[in-house]
Amino acid sequence: MLLKWHNGYFCAMLSVVILGTGNLAQHLAEAFSGVDPVSLVQVFGRDPVQLQWFENHAPTCSKPDDIVEADAYIVAVSDTSILEVSQLLSDKNGVVAHTSGAATMDVLPMANRGVFYPVQTFTKGKSVDFHPIPICIEANLDSGRIILNSLAKSISSKVHPMDSKQRRQLHLAAVFANNFTNHLYGISEEICNRNQIPFDLLMPLIEETAAKIKSLSPTEAQTGPSKRGDQKSMDQHLSLITNNREKEIYTFLSDAIKSKYEKKL
């Protein structure tokens, strides 16, 4: 653990190495660079070009032998490469945590292992405020848990201990709430584009749909022709859709909504 001279006394600082140079690695590097109790001591990546972006935040390295000692190693790489990249850390004592919602903690082979999963969607170049983002942490040793907890608390006000079983369910829920919804936004955008309608016209509707479930359950907030059992409108929509895949998605989702609400109609 590093010590830092601060306001007339020494305080403990957590040293951290990030492995990976992708979407999440960039956001974590920015977040850790701005907080006092954390020292981002290195960013490791296999591609020196990708590493250039990180040079303003920390020393960088692309050779596994050059990875330095640290209290924590955050492995922010593609889920399929977590094991391979974590094996570069087999001689390190610090806690090694991956950032995946879907992978179990035990995919990591070391004794001092954990998970540091931020529940948010991250894209390079689109800045986010980490403070309100929940971070789910898990560790198999108390020492690792204390470090990951302090690290998470240094950037977020919402730190949740969560085991791998629950986290995978949370990740599944997140796929429905975010990935699938975003795919549907994409279909909306394509329909607008095909008909020379500005997609922007849907923005207040999209924002209100997300805002109202802060005070209502999504079950209570549902509206639309399929909830109302308005078959005439649904048939009209289907006649407007020329793309077979969009037709299937429209029919599948309408049936799902209809069967959920028809007993209540």
Q: Which is nearer to ligand NAP, 22 or 225 (CB)?
A: 22
- Angle at 174 (CA atoms; ends 168, 175), nearest 5 degrees: 95
> Which of residues 37, 53, 62, 81 is near ligand NAP by CB under 6 A?
81
Instruction: Decide if residue 85 touches ligand NAP (CB under 6 A).
Output: yes
> Which of residues 38, 40, 61, 76 is near ligand NAP by CB under 6 A?
76
Q: Which is nearer to ligand NAP, 62 or 222 (CB)?
A: 62
Q: Which listed range, 45-53, 55-63, 214-222, 237-245, lies at the site for ligand NAP (CB under 6 A)? A: 45-53
**How far is residue 94's CA from residue 81's CA, in Å, rounded to a whole number?**
20
Q: Which is nearer to ligand NAP, 110 or 257 (CB)?
A: 110
Token pair 């394509």 is at which residue? 190
Q: Which is nearer to ligand NAP, 16 or 85 (CB)?
A: 85
Helices (H), 93-224: 142-155, 164-174, 181-194, 203-212, 218-221
**How far is residue 122's CA from residue 248's CA, in Å, rounded to a whole number?**
29
Site residue total, ligand NAP (CB under 6 A):
24
Instruction: Decide if residue 122 touches ligand NAP (CB under 6 A).
Output: yes
**How far is residue 265's CA from residue 263's CA, in Å, rounded to a whole number?**
6
Quote the tokens at residue 111: 């004794």
CB of 236 to ligand NAP, least distance (A): 37
Quote the tokens at residue 220: 């209570």
Asked if 180 and 154 count as a contact pair (C-beta separation under 8 A), the reply is no
Q: Which residues would be at the binding site for ligand NAP (CB under 6 A)? A: 20-25, 45-47, 50, 76-79, 81, 84-85, 99-101, 117-118, 121-122
